[in-house]
Structure 1
């Protein structure tokens, strides 16, 4: 396993790998695509950033890249990596991952919000009623 994601090119012999990875254009803007290194690599390969043969894989899946495929390691931000993983996952997994991301977004800052509610004088039982949180979790936010 590597810490870098990889851009790679499928060739005509890579039929079984055709579903491997995701075209970078499908995941939205990736900062690495605008770097001189990536542009030079694409030029050297004679392909554009929108080529159907161009794929990106997250670091934990790069071992699946066919040995003969042209490849280039690229750094991705956490947000970019999340998008690549989501787009390369089977649809049923992608839907669950979307729900998990939505959950994370709504719980971000939970303890701070519970603490603010307590500091404002909202009773613990009312916070529990409004949030569905465990009373012990609400009380712990006061610490």
Structure 2
């Protein structure tokens, strides 16, 4: 596993791998000279349907031989990438977890639903800011 996310180009734009950077919103790395030069060298643009982005824990899925570039993402940018990649049921629960930051009422049920839906405990901690021990206790109930 690497600490960097990766931009990469897919031959088949219809493949469901990674997320289009444009779908994530503004990313600081997209404005860097390194990314702009890489895109120019590939004959691509930030809006290309072939351009995709994967978080560090998913980069092993990049097809062998695909053009790729490691890019640093802020914690907030990385959270948005992960959220866009989540399947719809998980994405809805993740939205609730993000909203949880603003209220503490009913956290027990929400964390239980998130765990039951398959959201990883470390992701719940990342989204809510809840103490990892609290999430682990809920997971062990």
Structure 2 length-normalised TM? 0.71
Q: Does 1:5 align with 2:18?
A: no
Deviation, structure 1 residue 51? 0.0
Gaps of 5+ in 2: 105-141
1:45-101: CA deviation from partner (whole Å, max 9, x where unpaired): 000000000000000100000011100000000110010001011111111111111
Q: Does 1:42 align with 2:3?
A: no
Residue equivalent to 1:117: none
Deviation, structure 1 residue 106? 2.9
Residue equivalent to 1:97: 94
Secondary structure at 2:8 match in 1? strand
Residue equivalent to 1:139: none
Structure 1 length-normalised TM? 0.70
Residue equivalent to 2:136: none
Gaps of 5+ in 1: 108-143
Residue equivalent to 1:75: 72
Once residues 92 and 38 of structure 1 are traced to their aligned partners in structure 2, the CA distance between those partners, rounded to angstroms, is: 33
Deviation, structure 1 residue 104? 2.4
| Count of aligned pairs | 104
Residue equivalent to 1:129: none
Once residues 102 and 74 of structure 2 are traced to their aligned partners in structure 1, the CA distance between those partners, rounded to angstroms, is: 18
Secondary structure at 2:48 match in 1? coil
- Work out which of the two has the higher radius of gyration on C-alpha atoms and give 1 or 2: 1
Once residues 102 and 70 of structure 2 are traced to their aligned partners in structure 1, the CA distance between those partners, rounded to angstroms, is: 30
User: In structure 2, which of residues 18, 22, 27 is the aligned counterpart of residue 25 of structure 1?
Assistant: 22
Change (3 A) 1:68 1:94: same
